[in-house]
A and B are shown apart, each in its own frame.
Chain A
Amino acid sequence: MKSPLLAFVLLLILGVTGKVWAQEDPGRTKIGKVQVTVYFATNGDPKAAGDRAEEISAETKSRLQNESRLKFSHYRAMGADTQPVFRSYENWAQPLKPSDEILLRFETRRQPVDESLTLDLELWLARKKILKTEVLLKPGRPLYVLGPEWRGGNLIVAVALAQ
């Protein structure tokens, strides 16, 4: 009889302290979510991406092929990671877990307006900062970064707002 009551009290204390902690640091407020997806794009054999890589939808394929610089015969989804955007802290996405070959650091310095977020982005490849930029992400309007070559194709890093 005592142990359930004790557990309830402990949970209550933890909940209250957690809530107090969250209230104490408004900078950790989540103001959005970012999904980072890595595609393997190739004109060769898409099986080079491995058996676990998945085909992408016809809509995404058509969309990528509409841009001549991103036009390849085959695309495969290699991995994805969805991470929150904090009000005043940076965050990292690791789309190819557990590999840290591709990492994305992001933070916002402006209030989101109309579900749009302006992000400071850093793309890290092989633990080196390769690109730093600022991008406005709108719902349905992602950022595509044509990245390094790999196994006869290229990796494309897609950064988009997540629901």
Chain B
Amino acid sequence: MNTNPDETRLALWLDDELSCEELAAMEAWAADKPGQFAAREELRGFRKMMSENLPVSEEPPYPDFFLSRVNQGIRDLQLEEEKAAAPAVAAPARAFWKSWLMPAAACAGMVFAFGIGKQSRNSSSSLTVVPALSPVLYTPEEGVDAEWISSKRTDATVIILQGVAAIPDTTDFSETVYVPTASEADRTATRDREPSDSSQQ
């Protein structure tokens, strides 16, 4: 059977916080441990020394504290009265500035903000045409893959599809309704485009 006390009980015994049966049990346990009694005596001496050198509580200097608060209140009132008296002299000048400077500043601010907004709108349009260097290619069909090439030699964007099912040779496109003329078929090769009339609406 383990009769050794735990740390909490030992600390309470050292601090003389135990009583009755718990105190008797601890005294019995420490009977053959002179070191524990020495430690308790040392702690008792320390507590005694502390109680003799430190007051239990220090009362605040109520009269001095009360008078200092009253004096501070009086000083605050005097400062407020001085501040209230000073603007009364300078008020006409400030009112004059306020009468025209504040509306003018507000108008200037609105014009400035409008200009900034207009410029940002113009500049943002150029950002919208910047494509992703490597655009997202989505191939939902299983087994199909796509490779993107920005071909400088061809001056074109090229996408290579791999894994696409071949069109059966029996499929006949000879009934194609519209076969472009030579000039129309070559339209994708036009490098120097004539200036359009911007009729693309």
Determine how close the nearest CB of chain B comes to the CB of A102; give it in whole angstroms: 9
Q: Which residue of A97, A118, A128 contacts B177 across the interface (Cβ within 8 Å)? A: A97
A135 with B128: CB separation less than 8 A: no
Stretch of B22-30, B55-63, B90-98, B185-193 lying at the A interface: B185-193
B182 with A113: CB separation less than 8 A: no
B contact residues, total (Cβ < 8 Å): 58
Task: Give bound CA distance, A162 to B189, whole Å.
Answer: 11
Name which residue of chain A comes closest to B125, CB basis. A113
B200 with A32: CB separation less than 8 A: yes
Q: Which residue of A30, A49, A59, A132 contacts B186 across the interface (Cβ within 8 Å)? A: A59
User: Which residues in chain B, 149-190, are within 8 Å of chain A measured between CB atoms?
Assistant: 149, 151, 153-161, 164-167, 169, 171-182, 184-190
Name which residue of chain A comes closest to B197, CB basis. A163
User: Which residues in chain A, 91-119, are within 8 Å of chain B measured between CB atoms?
Assistant: 96-99, 101, 110-116, 118
Instruction: Answer whether residue B82 sits at the interface, using C-beta atoms and an 8 A cutoff.
Output: no
B165 with A148: CB separation less than 8 A: yes
A residues near B194, Cβ cutoff 8 Å: 163
Other A-B contacts than A99-B173, A142-B157, 18 sampled, CB-CB below 8 A, are A29-B201, A30-B201, A31-B200, A35-B184, A57-B182, A63-B154, A63-B156, A63-B189, A66-B154, A70-B158, A113-B125, A116-B129, A118-B129, A133-B136, A136-B129, A142-B156, A142-B188, A163-B194
- 22 A-B pairs with CB atoms under 8 Å apart are A52-B179, A56-B182, A57-B182, A63-B155, A69-B149, A78-B176, A79-B173, A81-B178, A98-B175, A101-B167, A110-B128, A112-B200, A118-B128, A126-B167, A130-B144, A131-B144, A132-B139, A134-B136, A142-B157, A144-B158, A144-B159, A163-B196
Task: Report the 7 A-B pairs with minimum CB-CB distance, sorted nearest first.
Answer: A136-B131, A50-B174, A160-B188, A60-B189, A149-B166, A77-B185, A66-B153
